Amino acid sequence: MKNFLNIAENKKLYKCNHFFLIKDSYPVSPGHLLIISNELIEDYFGLSKEAKQDLPHVIDEAKRIIETEHSPDGYNIGMNCGKYAGQTIFHFHCHIIPRYNGDLKHPEGGVRGVIPDKMKY
């Protein structure tokens, strides 16, 4: 089973009690980061109450780190929970994807684009 437990410490951009941040190995856009749980937890719904309360702080830290090198015009924040939601590594991770003016011709609908026919409404 794939997981993120073997990430080298020098690859971690930030670490706290519940999570750490790394650059995505296959970035959707410049600056794409992952928030990963320190423990092997399958997805968001398996996180402890304390971890869930810590997550907004780590999202803000990811944004701060991204903005030291990039100037995005927006963000997508997403989690795939379960095989049929597209999850391929069953270890909690949250994508922080910077978005840039012009990176998509019609960005309206945002994350609804995971099912392309549902993006326009």
Whole-angstrom distance, CA of residue 28 vs CA of residue 107: 14
106 catalytic per annotation:
no
Point out the catalytic residue in the list 18, 93, 95, 106.
Answer: 93
Whole-angstrom distance, CA of residue 98 vs CA of residue 120: 21
CA atoms within 13 A on the CB side of 15: 8
Whole-angstrom distance, CA of residue 29 vs CA of residue 32: 6
- Scanning 34-83, the segments in alpha helix (DSSP H) are 49-69
Catalytic center residues: 93
